[in-house]
A and B are shown apart, each in its own frame.
Chain A
Amino acid sequence: MALTIISMASLRSETQIVPVNSPQASSFTTTVQSSLSAVFPSRIKHSLSSILTKFHAGYFRISLSLGGQALLWKTLIGPTHDKSTLRHVVHMFHPTAFLLLWCFALFILSLLSLLYILRCFFYFKMVKAEFLHHVGVNYLFAPWISWLLLLQSAPFVAPKTTSYLVLWWFFAVPVVALDVKIYGHWFTKGKKFLSTVANPTSQISVIGNLVGAQAAASMGWKECAVCLFSLGMVHYLVLLVTLYQRFSGSDRLPAMLRPVFFLFFAAPSVASLAWESITGAFDTASKMLFFLSLFLFTSLVFRPALFKRSMRRFNVAWWAYSFPLTILALASTEYAEEVKGSIAHILMFLLLSLSVLVSLGLTIFTLLNTRMLLPDNDPISGLYHLPIVSP
């Protein structure tokens, strides 16, 4: 069965997709059209359809970043052993401001989730195409990670309550299910061996496991936490080696997606935080993971040429810069709390300001350029619209 891409030529004039029209496609088209027309008036239908077709899981980077920021600020204004002035200053961040931030993050995430659910209903074939793509599949973790982050940073849901537990299960089970599917592919499925599909976004799956572990540990469910942690770390090890080898060079990733290189230092940071949640203190293992993350960050920062091509035009991939920076800042906060030296606090201050600036800048930029957010010829969403022949 050749997977046909629905070309909504009747709704949009541009033809970015490869139209492989068969009778079943056109009948599907009419079904879609009829279902849509049944629900919405025509103009809204047009714009909604165009949004849904251009939307893809990569847009959840926005909610990832916002969720990360929410978690960061919740940690910063929370109770702490850190007696330094910096922490004191930061503590003055008003709780209402944090609540606003969290609500904003929740709003964005709900909106994105709703859009994606609609997309699943009306354009399931596109979602399937995403799933079969080596970059797109990793972003299917992003919604669940965002929800887990929001859950952890929720101001009114305490970790040990039943609602937290239920919600955790609700968000963690899809992560594990996706794990089983994707990691299994890595070493069993013919066309999808790790050596061919590995790319920096594969680390999102690792991050998913680790965030789940962190959330579980804060609930007190240590065994679940350790289980997810070990899953994440084992695959991180494999992925680290594979990605460093760059077996197939850098051509697996289009130049526009270079910001995802920042995920290289996101994964160890999340691992460090997760281990800290499990053991209760920022011990040597957490420190080592934090230092590794810091080193990788430095190494990427000293390679601006790597990112030049992707910075030419604004696209949603730019949001990939924000979440890793936020998580690194969070890890440095924990580190500074543990180590209590002035260098650690300076580092924390620098990373904190960087992450806030980047997130704020990206938000403002996005709000000013909403039209560019869903471009007509988005090179990234164009990636997923490849005709795929399922075996």
Chain B
Amino acid sequence: MDHKPEPEAVPSLLQLISSNQVAGFDNIPVENKFPGPINVCQATGGHERAVSVSISMPSSPTAAGGRGEAKVFEIGVPDSCKASESIGEYKEAKTVKFLSQPMPKGSILGEAATIKDTNQHPSNKKLKDKRYDSFKTWSGRLERQLSNLRGRPCEIESEDDSSPNFGNTEPLPLPLPVDRYFDALEGPELESLKASEEIVLPHDKTWPFLLRYPISSFGICLGVSSQAIMWKTLAIASSTKFLHINLAINLVLWCISVALVAIVASIYLLKVIIYFEAVRREYFHPIRVNFFFAPWIALLFLALGVPPSVTSKLPAALWYILMTPIFCLELKIYGQWMSGGQRRLSKVANPSNHLSIVGNFVGALLGASMGLKEGPIFFFAVGLAHYTVLFVTLYQRLPTNETLPKELHPVFFLFVAAPSVASMAWASIQGSFDYGSRIAYFIALFLYFSLAVRVNFFRGFKFSLSWWAYTFPMTGAAIATIRYSSAVTNIVTQTLSVMLSIAATLTVTALLVTTILHAFVLRDLFPNDIAIAISDRKPKPIKKWFNRRHGSLDNNKDIETFLKFVSVDSKDIEAALKVPTAEATSE
């Protein structure tokens, strides 16, 4: 069959039809995202809102893996383009009837889209880039600016069509409601996609590194810097002097932590600059939002663990600078809890919320050790009040709460973090390890042991980088024990402090080995970050489509109407109607 004349003819015809049919076409795919034989694209989804989420072909995990490139539409592509691209998809998917034969994907798209250049290779590459454009800052405009500056004319030319449509007043996409995250994801860290859900980025390709880099990577900084503090305390504390720990260990670990914080922070900063949308989506994720405290807590840990050889007195202004982002963040987060909207506590409470509380206590500890008086008490009070609320909520395991994992998961170790750090903070504020500190310490110890004896239940989870964040509670408990043993020195407390320190060190070492293993041997340290790529629509009639092999009639009606017109071989209506069945049965 001749490809040549048809591709030229088709686009104009299709464009004409599509612009007429746009209203009708709109109705089909918005609800119909399914990995069926007919790939209905949600171009119109993007059409009705000025949102930068681009739609891909349904590429849910259940779809056949090697199924074609994801064709993604961006905003600003003219409607006709969109529609014709979708038609391109139809053609490709169907391989039947109305358009003659399977055409090379590149050429279809090159022609169906009215983008000027018909060069296949750049278009393929650009398409690949475009898939991630929705996640780029200002939908890729920044990147184009940068590449313009670097003088890459071919990019400019191809984007000419899109640029007039990228209005300067393009609004930021609406934040995903928290319900979408709960509906689409599952697992103790809300990381895995539910089977019925789809993601807006290609499922089968490895995404750009920055898109795969989650905020929970800051957990490594937390884990290592808390180790630095522990070794410093072991070397300095009176009750562990018998171990003769060298302060050099603290120095080495501290320097490693500084390097780690710098590296992780700069990579994440790059992600903020280039893929701001991805960062936003992480912020709206009910579990990841707590990790936004992690960088600042890591900096606080660095200040706490600073070796005496580096500096002995930190300036007070530093404390204020470090606490300001924590203060602003917690104003936002606790306010969300209180105002009773969609992110109220009874709905989103999960053990990771401890990260938002611990920052208060760590700040109080640092401030008190620096000699400040009022500021530490302020943060201690705020942290204590909200910790009480969170603690009760988590213990209650409210039925409205969806994110608590039913089985134990390392995230539960975060329960130990707050009381242990609070006990140390109170001891610093009061000047001695008094009853208040001891009460908090014993609570921490109890929680630690009740989790440690259940260590068998921690098996069987997929390793993720956020596990590093769960090691710092163990280290924190060890440090609190050392402080306690300095106040109450006897053989029991000293043994306990040594044991807990060894446990913490072993855990960190094991985690380090696992991380290296995953990074270099298995090479899956940074898997595709599914959690940020969920679509903002529920894919509704998936099941219907699968069950009935026809799709629901009302949904299909428009498809079939459309197909009728599309059929340039002037097949009759019956043939057009038979299409889905044939296609479905042929799958």
Interface positions of A (Cβ within 8 A of B): 237, 240-241, 243-247, 249-250, 264, 284, 287-289, 291-292, 294-296, 298-300, 302-303, 306, 339, 341, 344
Contact = CB atoms under 8 A, between A and B. Distances in A.
A92 B253 CA distance: 60
B337 A246 contact: yes
Given A264-B338, A299-B334, A302-B331, A291 B344 contact: no
Contact of A250 (B339, B393, B429): B339
Nearest to B378: A291
A253 B98 CA distance: 59
B380 A244 contact: no
Nearest to A335: B374
Given A245-B345, A245-B393, A292 B382 contact: yes
A237 B339 CA distance: 18
- Of B338, B386, B400, the most chain A CB neighbours within 10 A belong to B338
A302 B388 contact: no
Contacts of A291: 377-378, 381-382
Contacts of B345: 244-246
A339 B338 contact: no
Interface in B347-397: 349, 374, 377-378, 380-382, 384-386, 388-389, 392-393
User: What is the interface of chain B mostly: helix, strand, loop, or mixed?
Assistant: helix
A279 to B, nearest CB: 16
A306 B335 CA distance: 11
B325 to A, nearest CB: 15
Contacts of B344: 245-246, 249-250
Sorted from nearest, which 10 A-B pairs have the closest CB atoms?
A: A250-B340, A288-B381, A246-B340, A246-B344, A245-B346, A291-B378, A291-B381, A244-B389, A299-B335, A241-B392
Given A240-B388, A289-B381, A299 B374 contact: no
Contacts of A341: 374
Contacts of A284: 377, 429
A244 B338 contact: yes
B422 to A, nearest CB: 12
22 contacts: A237-B388, A240-B385, A241-B388, A241-B389, A244-B393, A245-B344, A245-B393, A247-B346, A247-B400, A250-B339, A250-B341, A264-B338, A288-B377, A288-B380, A291-B382, A294-B378, A295-B378, A295-B381, A296-B338, A299-B334, A299-B335, A300-B335
A241 B398 CA distance: 13
A390 B338 CA distance: 32
A9 B218 CA distance: 68
Given A240-B389, A241-B393, A245-B398, A295 B339 contact: no
User: What bracket does the count of chain B residues touching chain A fall in?
Assistant: 20 to 34
A292 B346 contact: no
A302 B337 contact: no
B335 A303 contact: yes
Given A264-B338, A299-B334, A245 B389 contact: yes
A110 to B, nearest CB: 36
Contacts of B378: 291, 294-295
A299 B338 contact: yes
A281 to B, nearest CB: 15
A143 to B, nearest CB: 28
Nearest to A296: B338
Contacts of B389: 240-241, 244-245
B229 to A, nearest CB: 25
Nearest to B390: A244
Nearest to B391: A241
B426 to A, nearest CB: 10
B379 to A, nearest CB: 8
Nearest to A305: B339
Given A240-B389, A264-B338, A303-B339, A246 B381 contact: no
Contacts of B349: 245
Contacts of B398: 245, 247
Nearest to A303: B335
Nearest to A298: B331
Contacts of B392: 241
Contacts of A289: 381
B357 to A, nearest CB: 12
Nearest to B429: A284
Nearest to A306: B339
A240 B392 CA distance: 11
Contacts of B393: 241, 244-245
Contacts of B337: 244, 246
B374 A339 contact: yes
A295 to B, nearest CB: 5
Contacts of A245: 344-346, 349, 389, 393, 398
Given A250-B339, A289-B381, A295-B331, 20 more contacts: A240-B385, A241-B388, A241-B389, A241-B393, A244-B393, A246-B345, A246-B346, A247-B400, A249-B341, A284-B429, A288-B377, A288-B381, A291-B377, A294-B378, A295-B381, A296-B338, A302-B331, A303-B335, A306-B339, A339-B374
A237 B331 CA distance: 20
Nearest to A299: B335
B326 to A, nearest CB: 12
Contacts of A241: 388-389, 392-393
A380 to B, nearest CB: 19
Nearest to B331: A299
B338 A287 contact: no
B286 to A, nearest CB: 15
